[in-house]
Structure 1
Amino acid sequence: MHDLIQLMCKDIVLDEDRLDPRKRSRLWRHNDILQVLNKPKRVERVEALSLDMSQVSRIIQLCPEVFEEMDNLRLLRFYFKDADWYGNPTSKLQLPQRGLEYLPNTLRLLQWDRYPSASLPSNFCPENMVCLGMPGSSLTQLWGGDNVHLVNLKVCDLRWSKELIKIMDFLGVPNLEELYLGECSSLVEIPSSLQLCRKLTKIIVSGCVNLCGFPSDLRLTSLEEVGLGRCPRITQLPKLPSTVKILYLEESGIKQLTAASIGHLTRLQKLVVGEIVESLPCEIGFLNCLQELLIRGGGPKVISIPDTICNLPRLVRLDCSSCENLESLPNGIGRLKRLKTLGLSGCSKIRSLPSDIGELTRLISLDLGGCSSITSLPESMRDLQSLAWLYLDGSVNLQGLRDILTPLNVSLEGLDLSGTSIEYLGSEAIERLSNLGWLYVRDCKRLRCIQHLPPRLKMLDAANCSSLTSVSSSPIPTS
């Protein structure tokens, strides 16, 4: 129904003038827009201009006054559908060295991906702006003075603007709700006036590697998401309100999490700490709304996990991947009745799994890849009724693989045994896995035979299995 209404609206706009796009109120077809940009005369009727730059095959040189006669323009979008911001791709819209000289003050939405100039026009008064999106831009500063009044601005997105040095003062931005500054690698400071944005719900500065100035107090009663990941110069967690639901801290300079800093975040649903912490406070077990806890990349610092995490009634994902000094999981992990994903890949010092792991009846994915110290798995593994993906790749010391695989539940869809010491996969091991669709045995140097492949198998990766001679009782050709 939505698509049908959209088509009807487009037909109405086209009926405004079938021959001359400059006499229409809205433009979205790239050929029409390019025609208007090349000859920006008598375009007073245009109110909205939206161009998917992925449809443009050549560089377009814009004149500085290209928007001078578009005094009714309210929406301007130059965007890349499914943009990839990695690297430094050239903008397809080029401006002279002096930049853009005019933008209509009527603009309410301005989205210009990879904006090619270092600044916006000095005479541009954005008091009507509701949404500003300029990811990947060449901006060095967003508005020159402190007296900018953006009373209607709700969303500001400048992600991947690597030349951005200074952001505007927030005194004149009282209604800001979302601020995205991720990967602005030249940005040094966020003004403390951000504390005045009482309606702010999201602040993302992840990847701002030179950011060292950040407000110490962000107790804004609407705040729900904070991203400080990969900000190594931010060393203190700001004071946050209990309304925060998502908190990213991976690879930041914050070394300690305490009861005082996170114990009050009773609505927190997702916490990503990565390699920043040496330990987690026991009070983490009181965060009853927590659904995702990601400690992945903990490196040598994370040695243990508090037993209190077993008290988290809503936890669905626990990821401790690459915590290379983590020796064990808490006893009582079976109490996490809603847990669906458990990631332990690269935890090379874990020797065993808790015996009650079989009580995780909703567990869908278990990743033990690279757990080189594990020699056996508990018998209760057979009780994992919902297990669909099991990763054992690189668990080189795991013994009795045939005995481990035999009781596995028929729900298993993917099995990764790459790099293990398994020698034989017979019917007693995998024939029962009737739903198995993906089987990986890459680099299993001792594997000689795979018999009776499951009927629903879609993918078999047996690369570099130098001893493998038979699959499903059929000899493998030698040349």
Structure 2
Amino acid sequence: EEEKFVFLDIACCFKGYKLTRVEQILHAHHGDAMRDHISVLVEKSLIKISESDIVTLHDLIEEMGKEIVRRESPDPGKRSRLWASEDIIQVLEENTGTSKIEIIYPNSRIEVEWDGEAFKKMENLRTLIIKDGKFTESPKHLPNSLRILQLQHSLCLSWDLPSEFYPRKLTICNISTKSTLFTQKFKNIMVLNFDRHEFLTRIPNVSGLVNLEEFSFQDCVNLITVDDSVGLLGKLKTLRAMCCINLRRIPPLKLASLEELDLSMCSCLESFPPVVWLLGKLKTMSLRRCIKLRSIPPLKLTSLEKLDLSHCVSLENFPLVVDSFLGKVKTLLVQSCHNLMNGLLDKLKFLSIERCIMLRSIPPLRLVLDNCEELQEIKGIPPCLKTLSALNCKSLTTSCKIKLLNQELHEAGNTWFCFPRAKIPEWFDHHCLAGLSISFWFRNKFPAIALCVISPSTLDDSRRLVRVIINGNTFFYESDDKRHKSPAKMYHLHLFHMKMENFNDNIDKAFFENKWNHAEVDFGFPFMNSGIHVLKEKSSMNDVRFTKPENDA
């Protein structure tokens, strides 16, 4: 029976939601057992979880679930779940609601002319979500049975919460109306969301919300003050304050359970909040576009995996990294930190430090260093480095470039490197002069090769698709570098490996059997020099020629 209830909740109201969000909502309805119920529904193929963790189901199964609810009663006020806007408007305007109603979630905008009394008879209403609506007046009553209350995007501006509203079971609250929220009443709340609350100027005392796990007040453009109690929430896992453009101070943080902290685009924030407790569980931290932030104090973030400091244009100081500080970081974004000079990284999988114009050295399998014109050295180049983009890094030393072109680094394949240089590596098997394309012949199968070109151009948005012509048949090869590029200011070396999965079609169909095949790689822009290297561990030189074979044998 519980599995049936979970299925009906999803079919009627929550199709297309992220799995984490569905679990959050259903936990408020059904407790910890909801995960088991979801697993059973997946096993029975009643619902599906996509690769991107979206909960979905077939249209026919969705309609079957909705029909089950419709058959509960011909009167919408006596059904358990209401999603059709016309049914909800009818129930609210005609005061025909009953204790049978458990969920109200309109699937489109509603405009209601009512007396505010309609919720009085809905003693078992668990979820009320209105994302887009207009009401002639505030509700005079709201059921204390509510576990989820979501009034989003300032679309219910006329609403004030009733003074006798005391929802002891409320666990998720999303509200952006002008209502003054009596937070001390919400003892069991786990998720509190004030996003886009245009009237909010101060986050009140929330010390009574001892079970709060997620607190978000993003895009509160008039918010000035955050109460110190926010920094003392022992169970808080997520704190989001993005785009609070007038917020100058975050209280001291003593948040032992915190996993995500987002203060991005808090453009008036000048200093990082004092940390009076180890943030040992913090995995993600974003300070993106905190344009007045000057420094970050030494922190011990032993679990941090992603750190975004991009466009912190005033940032001057970043603590030196040791294992106990950022030992698990996989992604670090610090592009456009114009004043950052020292103090970077150790164990990254991705690094973007574009336009850090004063940066001179980094100890670092993916590096994006574009337009760091003073960068001279990349220390300790790891053998697992696969992507390096150092566009316009004109100060790279000769010894550094030699290390970047070490044959062992590229022999295994799958690398993509770009940096200033005007010479093809000597270990390349074949060197060509200026032109627009490179040609070679092969037999049996397309060889595993690395290509290298010297050009003043870059593989920008219009040049990611390289033409590959095999025996007169045209295919397109897409570059691994997906980013938009700024113009090159000098000759650059582009070295990359051709991978079969990057072709737009199956190229095997163009091959001749037991004959030599001609291949031409057309880059679409002129180059000064080019070269081809055959990866000997994957292809035989006996099956590749750089001049036309005398016969097809």
Same fold (TM > 0.5): yes
RMSD: 4.5
Letter in 2 for 1:297: Q
Equivalent residues of 2:357, 2:373 under 8 A apart: yes
Aligned to 1:350: 375
Superposed CA offset, 1:447-479 (max 9, x none): 9xxxxx97854499989x699xxxxxxxxxxxx
- Give, in angstroms, the shift of residue 169 of structure 1: 2.0
2:353 alignment counterpart: 320
Q: Decide whether the 8 Å contact of 1:211 with 1:233 is kept in 2.
A: yes
For residues 7-406 of structure 1, the aligned pairs below 5 Å read 7=61, 10-17=66-73, 19-53=74-108, 56=109, 60-63=111-114, 65=116, 66-79=118-131, 92-96=132-136, 98-116=137-155, 117=157, 120-123=160-163, 124-134=165-175, 137=176, 139-140=177-178, 142-143=180-181, 148-216=184-252, 218-231=253-266, 232-239=268-275, 240-243=277-280, 244-252=282-290, 253-259=292-298, 262=299, 264-274=300-310, 275=312, 276-287=314-325, 289-306=327-344, 309-310=345-346, 312=347, 315-330=348-363, 333=364, 340-351=365-376, 353-354=378-379, 357=381, 359-361=382-384, 363-371=385-393, 373=395, 377-378=401-402, 380-381=404-405, 382=407, 383-384=409-410, 390=416, 392=418, 398-400=420-422
Contact 1:195 1:215 in 2 (8 A): yes
1 CA distance for matches of 2:92 and 2:454? 55
Q: How many Å apart are 1:410 and its aligned residue?
A: 5.1
**Separation in structure 2 between the aligned mates of residue 203 and residue 70 of structure 1, nearest angstrom:** 33
Partner of 1:88: none
Is the radius of gyration larger for structure 1 or structure 2?
2
* TM-score, reference length from structure 2: 0.61
* Equivalent residues of 1:159, 1:182 under 8 A apart: yes
- Cα 1:278/1:173, change in 2 over 3 Å: same
2:456 & 2:129 partners in 1: Cα distance?
Answer: 48
Mapped partners of 2:415, 2:166: distance in 1: 55
Paired with 2:449 and 2:457, the residues of 1 have a C-alpha distance of: 24
Instruction: Call closer, same or farther: CA 1:445–1:267 in 2, change over 3 Å.
Output: closer
Q: Is 1:438 aligned with 2:479?
A: yes
Whole-Å Cα distance in 2 between the matches of residues 205 and 387 of structure 1? 43
Q: Distance in 1 between matches of 2:256 and 2:489?
A: 58
8 A Cα contact 1:70 1:104, kept in partner: yes
Q: Deviations over 1:101-150 (max 9, x none)?
A: 4332221011233242165323233332100123xx3x34542x57x311
CA distance in 2, matches of 1:387, 1:163: 56
Counterpart-to-counterpart distance in 2, 1:416 and 1:183: 47
Q: Which residue of 2 aligns with 1:473?
A: none
2: CA distance, partners of 1:61 / 1:132: 22
Q: Deviations over 1:169-188 (max 9, x none)?
A: 21321211110112212111
Q: Offset at 1:302? A: 0.9
As a proportion of its length, which structure holds more strand? 2
Q: What amino acid does structure 1 have at the position aligned with 2:366?
A: T
Structure 1: gaps spanning 5 or more residues: 80-91, 334-339, 448-452, 468-479
Structure 2: distance between partners of 1:406 and 1:462: 19
1:73 offset after TM fit, Å?
1.1
How far did residue 419 of structure 1 move? 3.6
Alpha-carbon distance between aligned partners in 2 of 1:67 and 1:52, rounded to the nearest angstrom: 19
In structure 2, stretches of 5+ residues that fail to align are 1-40, 48-56, 431-446, 492-496, 506-520, 528-553
TM-score norm. by structure 1 comes to 0.70
Higher helix share: 2
- Please name the residue that 2:510 is paired with: none
* Equivalent position SS for 2:307: strand
Q: Distance in 1 between matches of 2:135 and 2:331?
A: 46
Identity of aligned residues (%): 23
CA distance in 2, matches of 1:224, 1:151: 22
Counterpart of 1:282 in 2: which secondary structure?
coil
